[in-house]
Structure 1
Amino acid sequence: MAAAPGRRRPAVLLWAAVCLATALAVDRSNFKTCEQSGFCRRQRGLQPGHSPYRALLESLQLGPDAARLQLVNEVTKVPLLLELWGLQGNVTRIRIKELNPLRPRFEVPDVLVAEPPVERLAVTGRDEGSLELSLGPAGHRLLVTEKPFRMDLLQGRELLCSVNARGLLFFEHLRQRRDSFSDKVSSSVGSLWDKIKTLFHRDTPREPTAEEGGAAEGQEETTGGTEDAGTQSEKPTEATAEAAEEPGSWEETFKTHTDTKPNGPTSVGLDFSLPGFEHVYGIPEHADSLRLRTTEGGDPYRLYNLDVFQYELYNPMALYGSVPLLLAHSARRTLGIFWLNAAETWVDISSNTAGKTLFGKLLDYMQGGGETPQTDVRWMSESGIVDVFLLLGPTPAAVAGQYAALTGTQALPPLFALGYHQSRWNYNDEEDVAAVERGFEEHAVPCDVLWLDIEHADGKRYFTWDPSKFPRPRDMLQRLAAKKRKMVSIVDPHIKVDSGYRVHNELRSRGFYVKTKDGSDYEGWCWPGSAAYPDFTNPEMRAWWASMFAYDQYEGSTENLFTWNDMNEPSVFSGPEVTMHKDAVHHGGWEHRDLHNLYGLYVQMATAEGQIQRSGGQHRPFVLSRAFFAGSQRYGAVWTGDNAAEWEHLKISIPMCLSFGLAGLSFCGSDVGGFFKNPEAELLVRWYQAGAFQPFFRAHAHLDTARREPWLFGEENVALIRAAIRQRYALLPFWYTAFYRSHRHGLPVMRPLWMEYPEDATTFAIDDQYMIDRALLVHPVTEQGARGVQVYLPGKGEVWYDVASLQKHHAPQTLYVPVTMSSVPVFQRGGTVVPRQERVRRSTECMRGDPFTLYVALSPQGTAEGDLFLDDGQSFDYETKARYLHRQFTFAGNTLTASSADPRGSFDTPAWLERVVILGAGKPAAVVLRPADGSETRLDFQHEAETSVLTLRKPGVRIGDDWAIVLR
């Protein structure tokens, strides 16, 4: 079943060669460093401590919803408008933009689910040079200092966050280009620029000058400012402040690509100081540890959606998606910073405790000279405005809820999407698909979805099928449906430029493509060869795209065909950094530079809407997207992109998915087995075991890798893989319930330990183990040849139960767990109830109505609780018609009770309770079942004294009924 050679088109051959050349290591030269990104270089060139901005406190306007006052750059005289909101739920919003811009600046649409409700503000204090605002009933106060401008956010007497405390606010205002200083004389300006940098960065103490604060980009904005700034007449005028603009301000070249900048330099930057915090997380996507590292001495973390083949690990380089949300956590509090800007963004992180060992910190404390830990975070974006939300917690769950209230929660996926997915680039034809599907049947391996990559379409023309390879797609899909399986086909957002291609002709005739700066349709090179790019920022184009998923438009499609949006950063092989030119023009006249990171979100949004529309609004969509932004969680799943069959890539999948979850993207996974290269059997087995305990569970591989369906590695290994997949299916009720809770409340499904144990400092840097919801702790085996793993069990006074042996362990402790090739270390938390369906079948749909088993893990106090969410697994009826069951299970006083967790829901299911396993229980004299009718029935039971496990067989009650089981 090797991949058929000789059938790839020239474009594929060309790019496949590039892929293979870069597969050994990413070619860093294709992607910018901060130094090569003009605005990042300018922003970072600004040194702390000399801010030129002053708050005009007398300009304060206090309305019922917001406070507004002006800021002025005392060098350039350009006024800014500062707007402040206290939002309900402990959130503060800060927005800074030009008071009188030459033209509008881009403000990110479609990410916030609604304008958040506000608290009433009040002035609670004034002093010379400062004023104090009350932000609402939670006791938050904002102290605004006039000169240099600074804001301090307090709760009571505790300082939570300082804004512009380091003086790094830098707002490149819109201006007219001065031709005499254009980039045509860049060599002369460059010489002058070097002199200015030397002048501005000298260390002699003095008052803030020209743009050590304001134009330190003033490296772009000023030639003057070397005199004492205390006298107004000595300050340079705006004209002289702008005289020496850095080469590249209006036009910038990277490799062979030149980016024209008709609006000139427009970047924005701002710093935040977080006293008391030394652990920060978030800002995916990066192939890095969960805890973010300091960036002093290296590049900042970059947020710029890019197509990066086999990315490097532990590197702040940008990858496929961007969520500008950073979380800070300490034993006392959690808070978040949400920087709402869709342009290229860099994030610098510094810490006064970086590099200090634990012993060094302890020594500081003992000597009485220890300083309060502090992390400083600096955001720098190429364009747009400053629009930032401070999420004030105070708990991890509160911050998750605050972010979800702004951008939405994870969409509840259809149940099949939580099963196992089998993919590769590419299954060759309909016969190949049928053979793979038969393989799952013959080897008794559960599977819900088979995937088709780009070779399934007719010459990479999406919404079509290759007539020789897939001549009867509807028949193929119906055969899968008969086995209760689904299919996913790829639909990428680059459209083959071909006058014989209906999709292209419609897009061109309707004017729906992204334009060049000259007004023609933007074209680049991608999989089909010459390709154009639909403008997904245009609501009319998105509506048209959604209509293409109708069954009469996407010929051969059926209701069990779902969608994969790849390459939607967007990927442009011939473009700068393998993406779209920044001076391309979108709907409304906005440049691509303004909204680049939004493009992938819009693609997934339009595709999901198309799937909903094709069902008449009845069925939930499933869309996998490689690119994403804040709010993408509302539209489907994401994954970690083009990884490699290496142990380190298996390890990094855990912190990457944890970071996704912290940023609201709960439905995340990695390519099981690695996309590039060929995994040895041990690595493949371990990856299946890890993937079975990650939210999105898909195997996928590159065109030129060997086939790796689960049964191709010998009987011993297929048995191990089968067991891992069966574990996933047995836990599907638990996964689905966890996703429902995430959908309702915004908590990540897969979460770091510190979210559940926020006061336990031991958990703060752990990223090789994690929690699924609040009940299961998982530590996948990610070391080659491992014979054991060290598992940290948190929670003072808590107990944990090994899911495999049912052995009880007391916490907190670090436990050495011996492992074999069949081991997946998983522990159930004492005090929880986990529902399972242990009659595993070929797919999720086949298990509908099957009986349940409850695993009741008792706390040291002899209590436990958990829940179960059930509906039809595919429709919106749980929302529109309240057709669902949400059951609550509680164990206390030797009695297990089942009741409704939400009486609004109603759903008829034949599912019943097959078994109850109580962990940590003594042996009762009798066990009695009490249904809702008040009758009593004795139940058979078995007790294992060695493990204190009590098993109750066949209670036989319906899972949707109220009942009690009493241990006597």
Structure 2
Amino acid sequence: MKQNYTQYCHKRIFVFILVLMMSGILIQDTDSVDSTNFKKCSQSSFCQRQRSYKPETSPYAANFDSLRTPKEGQVSIDILNTKNNQPFVLDFYALEDGMFNVKINEANPLHPRYIVPDTILDVNSQKFVVSTDSAKRIVNLQLAENPNIKITLTCSPLRLDVFDDDEPVFSLNSRHLLNIEHLRQKPVQKPKEPDSPPPPPEENEEGKSPENEESEEQADAQEEVVEEPVVEEKAEEEKEDEDDIDGMWEETFKTHQDNKPRGPESIGLDTSFINFAHVYGVPEHADHLSLRSTVGSEPYRLYNLDVFEYELDSTAALYGSIPFMIGHNGKRTVGMLWLNSAETWVDVDSSEDNKGVLGTVFGYFAGQETVPEVNVHWISESGIIDVYFTMGPTPADVMRQYTKLTGTSYFPPMWASAYHQCRWNYKDEDDVRTVDQGFDEHDIPYDCLWLDIEHTDGKRYFTWDSHKFPNPVEMQNALAARGRKMVTIIDPHIKVDSNYHIYSDAQAKDFFVKDRNGAEFKGWCWSGDSSYLDFTKPEVREWWASRFSPEIYKGSTPNLFTWNDMNEPSVFNGPEMTMHKDCKHAGGWEHRHVHNLYGRYQVVATVDGQLARSDHKERTFVLTRAFFAGSQRYGAIWTGDNAAEWGHIEFSVPMILTVGLCGIAHAGADVGGFFKNVDGELITRWYQAGAYQPFFRAHGHIDTTRREPWLFEEKYRDAMRSAVRARYELLPYWYTLFYQSHTTGEPPMRPLWYEFPKDRSLFAHDKSYMVGRALLVQPVVAAGVTYSSVYLPGNSGWYDTTTYQSYPSPNTVSVSTPLTNIAVFQRGGTIVPRKLRVRRCSSLMTHDPYTLHVALDHQGRAEGELFMDDGHTYEYKNGKYNYKKLVFENKVLSSRSLNSTALWETNSWLERVVIMGISKPSSVQLETEGRLTTLGFTFDPNKRLLTIRKPAVKMQKDWTITLS
């Protein structure tokens, strides 16, 4: 009875805490996240061990005589840790398109080490050209199809150097930090010798003492609990590694104990980017674009965590992890993927102290006093050394190569690239109807309305609150009739309730993650006592996908899409608010091995469910908070629980740029800030920034005041309306960029150095950015700003998209940025397609006419592209699309199909052409299908602006417009 009463009290306390969290009381009173709830490197034993590992020379050596070629495109060699005689195997794999892979694994591990699955796509291999220097014990590898790329393996001490055009680019283990903690048997602490021998025990009938009987029973019990074989003695060479080191077999953080039945298995490796001063990537962190030096401070941490109102300018872990890093200098761009899904720490040393060290060693940079160099120390809790190198040499090459490995972005439907309206929570169907009507009444377009957790029946996902949402199908159909969609939230924690069909079915099928003892793991989240589906199991993913069938997800329709939140996974009462590392997944793997994959696996299953629901006809949309390498194949992400502060607008730019460089094209930040109340100026500036970022969604916490645009003063409402309408005018351009990202891997939102790779002043710049190759955007990120100083790079000139005023470049200009607009410039030499007839949602604009904005460079030339299809199906894969190349040169504007058969029929026509930076012509003629038509035009001599009105040619046709 006492135990039951105690459990009852605990549950009541938890419910009270949960109510406070949900109401925002425990969150809103804090200025920011409590960082003590999350580990520092000093509190992570494996990070401490690896970070303090600094041998004078590396103990790892390759056996030159073991060099072999198991198959074409693979070269292998044996490695020995000469300190403890542990054997390893080093494998090289030559890949197409100037890429290669390096793997190091134990030769004969006690247990298999975790190798990340389902991330790297099938990539064609190429041949290695192998040569050796037996005197120096050096192996040289050359990519047969890319002979400029060479790898030199020095056997003792082990070291790898990578060259491009005979210049060093990468060096591995040059700082002797390769350190693989081999799997081993758990040592048994010997009992302490007694001061005097005890008296002999009495024997029982079998000649055994009672103490011996008990001892044998304890031994038997220990054999049942301890998973590793027990040994009495250790090899002499292992003693130094194992004796008196805390955290190798168990570890405690706050009140949480992490048992480690496999023991220590961390890995570490140093990699040097030679002749690079800047590196980028390894999201997600609320940090600047160019990665800082972490010497003497906290490393960048990759460990998916639920962090609310996160700190800015920080290396702390957030919701997603992509262990991909890019180096860029004025000559080349390169990348490397550290493929590991366990907790990972990344030390970056770009300090002045290390400049020129390797450059001097190589002797390739004669005449340079110092050679920039960034040294990176990768540290992961488990797994193998598994590194992929993308050799560029351009930023676009690196993106193509990386996304060839991990996949290009999914192609979002047109409506998903438009504006989304969200709040925790629109409280009922009347609220939904009122908000929907409010946008129309105030002439503000939007495409999708979102419902957070309060729409469900007691936080039971795939259900509806029958009092607040008694008619969900009718509600969705009403939105669909107006061309709009709905998104509902579905998280991975499942309420423990035998009467809840999702829980009972999953429990009966044994689909939940297990705790360390093999029982169903339970943790606390929004639904209270919760179990967590093991999405690492294919059968669980298949089952989850089937839940999206309308027969099971009652009240859903084909116009309902999904938001996977809290999928780090978030566990309120777990260590660092996530799952215990010693929980068990499919195949006997612990959560520590798969943690950063968990959220991606949930999204994979959700996407499969949406595909099955439409018989693979309709394009999917899923928003996820947790992500890993390859997540771009499945959906969009956002930057999580930000706050209504100016700094969060500012840092949204480098955060989105960084995930874009790591493959995720469709990304954004909560417009207005999730936490705290927002004033009119701040939310206006956020709408203006969000309108030029890939994923455009407003969102707010349940405890914030309502913030639909029409609830603010007229001047703010009008400015927000203008920002949203600007997004809709540019949807043809955004949609084309998303298609290009889907096919080439290039991010829609890019750093300036991506487009201007030789301009060194841009390498650390993240105040402004490019949308595609045509638009430069600089948001306003401080209060009271009415003028902005903007750097315009390149030499082709720029045009203000509001005033059409031209500016030479490179140049820094001061432009007016009143509350009504931010700085947006079109690059000379580009053509941007727009639709100026903005309607209430994007689907109503599908067949509307186009306007082309042609910005000429100094040679009087410009080009662009336009992708057109139905905007929502996969018919484009069957050739039902139109892809146009637009070129202006020699006073002729032409449109030509890039696809051989333009099968998609559209009534869209060319309504207007605006040409910037041109002289007045005497006549303008349109030619299409052999017919000539004279067109009318107007000309502004002060702006050198020509406007050609109503060419009225169908956009799917090929045509030319000639100026005479």
886, 891, 895: which one pairs with 2:888?
891
Matches within 5 A, 1:947-962: 947-962=943-958
Partner of 1:853: 851
159, 175, 180: which one pairs with 1:171?
180
Using the alignment, how far apart are the partners of 2:435 and 2:408 within structure 1? 35
Please list the CA deviations of residues 745-769 of structure 1 after superposition, one character each: whole Å capped at 9, or x if unmatched. Answer: 0011100011111111011111010
Are residues 423 and 129 of structure 1, via their aligned partners in 2, closer, same or farther at CA, if it must alter by over 3 Å?
same
Partner of 2:61: 54
Partner of 1:827: 825
Name the stretch that deviates more: 14-23 or 515-524.
14-23
Using the alignment, how far apart are the partners of 1:71 and 1:410 within structure 2? 38
Partner of 1:701: 700
Using the alignment, how far apart are the partners of 2:737 and 2:133 within structure 1? 46
Partner of 2:266: 267
Matches within 5 A, 1:252-263: 252-263=251-262
Partner of 1:71: 79
Contact 2:536 2:598 (8 Å CA) reproduced: yes
Contact 2:128 2:141 (8 Å CA) reproduced: no
- Residue 355 of structure 1: how far off its partner (Å): 11
Contact 1:88 1:119 (8 Å CA) reproduced: no
Partner of 2:189: 180
1:917 is the counterpart of 2:914: yes
- The one-letter code matched in structure 1 to 2:19 is L
Partner of 1:443: 442
- Residue 912 of structure 1: how far off its partner (Å): 0.5
1:33 is the counterpart of 2:40: yes
Matches within 5 A, 1:69-468: 69-123=77-131, 125-139=133-147, 140-180=149-189, 237-353=236-352, 370-468=369-467
806, 818, 831: which one pairs with 2:804?
806
- Residue 245 of structure 1: how far off its partner (Å): 4.5
Contact 1:65 1:121 (8 Å CA) reproduced: no
Using the alignment, how far apart are the partners of 1:127 and 1:420 within structure 2? 65
Secondary structure of the residue that 1:380 maps to in structure 2?
A: strand
Secondary structure of the residue that 2:931 maps to in structure 1?
A: coil
Secondary structure of the residue that 1:113 maps to in structure 2?
A: coil
- Residue 241 of structure 1: how far off its partner (Å): 3.5
Please list the CA deviations of residues 550-578 of structure 1 after superposition, one character each: whole Å capped at 9, or x if unmatched. Answer: 11111010111100000000000010000
- Residue 117 of structure 1: how far off its partner (Å): 2.3
Partner of 2:619: 620
Partner of 1:363: none
Query: TM-score, normalised to structure 1's length?
Result: 0.91
Are residues 330 and 555 of structure 1, via their aligned partners in 2, closer, same or farther at CA, if it must alter by over 3 Å?
same
1:549 is the counterpart of 2:556: no
Using the alignment, how far apart are the partners of 1:765 and 1:784 within structure 2? 24
Using the alignment, how far apart are the partners of 2:507 and 2:136 within structure 1? 61
CA-atom RMSD in angstroms: 1.8
Secondary structure of the residue that 1:180 maps to in structure 2?
A: coil
- Residue 115 of structure 1: how far off its partner (Å): 4.3
- The one-letter code matched in structure 1 to 2:41 is C
- Residue 369 of structure 1: how far off its partner (Å): 7.5
Partner of 2:925: 928
1:600 is the counterpart of 2:599: yes
1:967 is the counterpart of 2:963: yes
Contact 2:293 2:351 (8 Å CA) reproduced: no
Please list the CA deviations of residues 889-920 of structure 1 after superposition, one character each: whole Å capped at 9, or x if unmatched. Answer: 11111111111012144100010000000111
- Residue 84 of structure 1: how far off its partner (Å): 0.6
Contact 2:910 2:954 (8 Å CA) reproduced: yes
- The one-letter code matched in structure 2 to 1:24 is D
Partner of 1:536: 535
882, 905, 908: which one pairs with 1:908?
905
Matches within 5 A, 1:570-719: 570-719=569-718
Using the alignment, how far apart are the partners of 1:150 and 1:758 within structure 2? 30
Using the alignment, how far apart are the partners of 1:661 and 1:961 within structure 2? 33
- The one-letter code matched in structure 1 to 2:821 is S
Using the alignment, how far apart are the partners of 1:591 and 1:527 within structure 2? 24
Please list the CA deviations of residues 466-505 of structure 1 after superposition, one character each: whole Å capped at 9, or x if unmatched. Answer: 0110011001001101111110000000000001100000
- Residue 49 of structure 1: how far off its partner (Å): 3.6
Matches within 5 A, 1:472-487: 472-487=471-486
Partner of 2:229: none
Contact 1:75 1:237 (8 Å CA) reproduced: no
Contact 1:182 1:250 (8 Å CA) reproduced: no
- Residue 352 of structure 1: how far off its partner (Å): 4.2
Are residues 511 and 292 of structure 1, via their aligned partners in 2, closer, same or farther at CA, if it must alter by over 3 Å?
same
1:816 is the counterpart of 2:824: no
- Residue 118 of structure 1: how far off its partner (Å): 3.1
- The one-letter code matched in structure 2 to 1:166 is R
Secondary structure of the residue that 2:63 maps to in structure 1?
A: strand
1:13 is the counterpart of 2:19: yes
Secondary structure of the residue that 1:35 maps to in structure 2?
A: helix
Please list the CA deviations of residues 822-847 of structure 1 after superposition, one character each: whole Å capped at 9, or x if unmatched. Answer: 12211111111100000000000111
- Residue 48 of structure 1: how far off its partner (Å): 5.3
Please list the CA deviations of residues 418-444 of structure 1 after superposition, one character each: whole Å capped at 9, or x if unmatched. Answer: 111010100000010001001001101
Please list the CA deviations of residues 794-824 of structure 1 after superposition, one character each: whole Å capped at 9, or x if unmatched. Answer: 11x3111110010111110111112210122
% identical aligned pairs = 51
Name the stretch that deviates more: 60-69 or 266-275.
60-69
Matches within 5 A, 1:730-809: 730-795=729-794, 797-809=795-807
Name the stretch that deviates more: 444-453 or 57-66.
57-66
Please list the CA deviations of residues 348-407 of structure 1 after superposition, one character each: whole Å capped at 9, or x if unmatched. Answer: 010243799xxxxxxxxxx97722111101100000111000111111111111101000
Secondary structure of the residue that 2:400 maps to in structure 1?
A: helix
Query: TM-score, normalised to structure 2's length?
Result: 0.91
- The one-letter code matched in structure 2 to 1:878 is Y
Using the alignment, how far apart are the partners of 1:104 and 1:732 within structure 2? 49
- Residue 21 of structure 1: how far off its partner (Å): 5.7
Are residues 53 and 839 of structure 1, via their aligned partners in 2, closer, same or farther at CA, if it must alter by over 3 Å?
same
Partner of 1:941: 937
Secondary structure of the residue that 1:605 maps to in structure 2?
A: helix
Secondary structure of the residue that 2:596 maps to in structure 1?
A: helix
Contact 1:22 1:309 (8 Å CA) reproduced: no
Secondary structure of the residue that 1:706 maps to in structure 2?
A: coil
- Residue 168 of structure 1: how far off its partner (Å): 0.2
Using the alignment, how far apart are the partners of 1:28 and 1:154 within structure 2? 42
Using the alignment, how far apart are the partners of 1:236 and 1:730 within structure 2? 71
Name the stretch that deviates more: 23-32 or 443-452.
23-32
Partner of 2:215: none
Contact 1:121 1:136 (8 Å CA) reproduced: yes
Using the alignment, how far apart are the partners of 1:485 and 1:853 within structure 2? 25
Please list the CA deviations of residues 675-717 of structure 1 after superposition, one character each: whole Å capped at 9, or x if unmatched. Answer: 0001111000000000000000000000100000010002221
Contact 2:302 2:321 (8 Å CA) reproduced: yes
Secondary structure of the residue that 2:761 maps to in structure 1?
A: helix
Partner of 1:24: 31
